[in-house]
Chain A
């Protein structure tokens, strides 16, 4: 062992943190290529530290804590901040730093045409994001997790709005921020309830099942926002306005998975909360199905992947709801790899075709062999083709859900597994194997900076499934793979979905007659309609009411206060005569008053 786990974790945390701080402060550094070099180096050193950390955790060790008292109140700390190093945080750290490193290297090529200051800004945000994510992952209690949670929210806002001159990007950033902030209220309230019930922010404090239900339900509201669960998923497709590598890192692999990680981390609480978990199972399954349906009819390559992310996050939530900690986290890991791979592949394609639209693509398999190969690996892994990473983790989830007997949720998840394979098949055919279009005919393979991360991510997307035992070890639970009926069924459905999409979309871009009405419905956006309806009937009158209260009561008070300050300011302004002796008078008066006060005491 080269270094102690604590120093390794500190390295992983502080390397990007220092770089983010340095780049934020030192404009000359930020405006040059040095920003890129520093940021990538920091990410890579985090990655090395994470690898060593995981290596150390493979032998069973008790969790290591390094905490500092924080917010002392009369000598008693209100909370603690610090590090917690155990199998869960180490493996999550590895996932985060690995994907972040890949994405940053990819970004070097992808953002090449941006101006140096814009690139510097971009990489500064990336370093900040990595820091925030590491704060979240290494949190020893829920309070610090909340800190990291909010910080990643901010960086998400900044990165979605990276093209801030584009109105749609700015709007999407604000939407993402508001929806997740709204959900985060749940986390904040949940934290306070937890504190009042147990007297600490620790997730392993003793708590009654009833209180655990309340707390976890509140926490889960925040998870619904961050991990884009129905009905709070609406921000995620819009978040695709950000640069594609950002979508890969934040909105597919790591940040949206933070919600799942929160549940994994807070497992001692969630384990007790049976009602919350039942709700999670239902909601996760419904989200998985709904999002998969929506992904089917999208024509924007990134939106297909975004809905797919929603759907897969639904899987993880459902797994945790069914009580399978390992299933949820395993799928988080494999999904992080193959979905980041898919997004980066999509980025490579977009870079070549200069369009997001599936209808502009086609025939790229010959022109971009490496991108095609890696993308196919990612897609098949997502579709759950036996032997690839996604198959193992999805199987684990389905087994866990099916453990309690045949249920509606299992059916939903199986159907969405089928749909997943179906829409991924359609995506592959449209992008790579359909006849070339005018735009795609000029495409050519991307450069090394773009291809290296694709290659790097393709390896775990292929092979993570065979390391289930290792994950089990990190989690302290046994993992044995066995192919049950459900696994065979899921694999069969996946293959069926791929075959069906091949049959249906081999020769045409349009949806077949049977699916067309559904497609039209979804293209018009049932969710948007629902929201619009709800918006007009419920939300708008409510908003009007709130607006009235705000305008006439709250603002009235505020305006009066403001007015009072303005008027008094105008009066007080006369004191500032600008004449030196007047200032002397004021000084003397002040000194005398102080003297008098001192004498009186």
Chain B
């Protein structure tokens, strides 16, 4: 019972905060509400017996991504006007999204295999072993990708790049 209420609360938080992200008029507000979504998701992970993932979520998302986002907004904001997030055609987007939601919910409801019983949760040990045995190639590839991203971001943002695609002066 207490679990049900907890899930309801967390889910409500996530959906509400997500809606506020989607409808945010101010970029900083949007980023902050995204932080709420991500944090609530971390709580949900704990409830789903995935505490390791919850930690990662907090560390990477709330700690890393959020900071980056805020920095990004700060770097690109020069006046109040630009922090404002413009929106367009909300009706069409709303109808399309609701339509997709309807289809997904119907699919979930009518799927027979979803009422699986709970099983023993995976431990950090399992995850670590799996990462370094079965998925070691993907793991290494990912580390390469992270390195490439780092270099890429530096190269993209270098100010003295000679082959600048778009002229600085514009």
Q: Which residues of A contact B (CB under 8 A)?
A: 581, 585, 588-589, 592, 595-596, 599
Contact between B93 and A595 (Cβ–Cβ < 8 Å)? no
Min distance, Cβ A601 to any Cβ of chain B, angstroms = 14
Instruction: Give Cα A596–Cα B106 distance, bound, in whole angstroms.
Output: 12
Known: A592-B100, A595-B103, A599-B103. 12 other contacts (CB 8 A): A581-B88, A585-B89, A585-B92, A585-B93, A585-B96, A588-B96, A588-B100, A589-B96, A592-B96, A592-B99, A592-B103, A596-B103
Nearest 4 Cβ contacts at the A-B interface: A588-B96, A592-B100, A595-B103, A592-B99
> Across the interface, which residues of A come within 8 angstroms of B93, CB to CB?
585
Closest residue of A by beta carbon distance from B103: A595
CA gap between A592 and B99 in the complex, in Å: 8
| Neighbouring B residues of A599 by C-beta, 8 Å | 103
Task: Summarize A's interface: helix, strand, loop or mixed.
Answer: helix
**Assembly CA distance A500 to B89 (angstroms):** 97
**Nearest CB in chain B to that of A591: its residue:** B100
- A585 vs B93: C-alpha distance when bound (angstroms): 8
A-B contact list, 15 entries, CB within 8 Å: A581-B88, A585-B89, A585-B92, A585-B93, A585-B96, A588-B96, A588-B100, A589-B96, A592-B96, A592-B99, A592-B100, A592-B103, A595-B103, A596-B103, A599-B103
A596 to B93, CA, bound (A): 17
- From B100, which residue of chain A is reached at the shortest CB distance? A592
- Total interface residues on B, using CB and 8 Å? 8
User: CA A585 – CA B89 in complex, angstroms?
Assistant: 10
Chain A's closest residue to B88 (CB) is A581
CB distance from B110 to the nearest CB of A (A): 11
Residues of A within 8 A of B103 (CB): 592, 595-596, 599
Closest to B97 in A: A588
0/1 string, B77-97, CB within 8 A of A gives 1: 000000000001100110010
A215 vs chain B, min Cβ distance (A):
61
Residues of A within 8 A of B89 (CB): 585
Residue of A nearest to B107 (CB): A599
The smallest C-beta distance from B9 to any residue of chain A, in angstroms, reads 31
**B96 contact set on A, CB distance < 8 A:** 585, 588-589, 592
Min CB distance, B88 to chain A, in Å? 8
A596 to B88, CA, bound (A): 25
Q: Across the interface, name the chain B residue whose C-beta is closest to A596.
A: B103
CA–CA, A592 to B100, complex, Å?
A: 7
**Min CB–CB distance B160 → chain A (angstroms):** 28
CA distance A524 to B96 in the complex (A): 80
B24, chain A: closest CB distance, angstroms: 16
A290 vs B93: C-alpha distance when bound (angstroms): 81
Chain A hits for B88, CB < 8 A: 581
| A479–B100 alpha-carbon span in the complex (Å) | 85
Which residues of A have CB within 8 Å of B99?
A: 592
Chain B nearest CB, measured from A577 CB (Å): 11
Distance between Cα atoms of A588 and B88 in the complex (Å)? 16
> Shortest beta-carbon distance, B119 to chain A, in Å?
31
What is the bound-complex CA distance between A468 and B96, given in angstroms? 84
Collect the chain B residues with CB atoms within 8 Å of residue A595's CB.
Answer: 103
Residue of B nearest to A589 (CB): B96
In whole angstroms, what is the CA distance A588 to B100 when docked?
9
Contacts of B92 in A (CB 8 A): 585
Nearest-neighbour CB distance to chain B for A53, whole angstroms, equals 56
Min CB distance A283 to B, Å, is: 70
**Min CB gap B163→A, angstroms:** 23
Distance A589 CA – B92 CA, assembled complex (angstroms)? 10
- Nearest A-chain residue to B106, judged by Cβ: A599
CB distance from A194 to the nearest CB of B (A): 57
Complex contacts, A581 vs chain B, CB 8 Å: 88
Cβ–Cβ < 8 Å partners of B100 in chain A:
588, 592
Scan B9-40; emit 1 where CB is below 8 A from any A CB, else 0.
Answer: 00000000000000000000000000000000
How far in angstroms is the closest Cβ of chain A from B90?
12
Q: In the complex the two chains form, what is the Cα distance from A559 to B47 in whole Å?
A: 68
Of all chain B residues, the one with the shortest Cβ separation from A588 is: B96
Which residue of the partner chain B has the closest CB to A584? Answer: B93
Assembled-state Cα–Cα distance A596/B100 (Å): 10
Cα A589 to Cα B99 in complex, Å, equals 10
- Chain B residues near A585 (CB-CB < 8 A): 89, 92-93, 96
**Minimum CB–CB distance for A322 against chain B, Å:** 78
Tell me the complex Cα distance, A592–B102, Å.
11
CB distance from A590 to the nearest CB of B (A): 11
The digit string for B37-56, where 1 denotes a CB below 8 A from any CB of A, is 00000000000000000000
A589: chain B residues within 8 A (beta carbon): 96
Least CB distance from A364 to B in Å reads 65
The proximity string for B residues 99-125 relative to A, scoring 1 for CB distances below 8 Å and 0 otherwise, is 110010000000000000000000000
Q: What is the CA–CA distance of A595 and B96 in the complex, to the nearest angstrom?
A: 12
Bound complex: CA of A581 vs CA of B89, how far in Å? Answer: 11
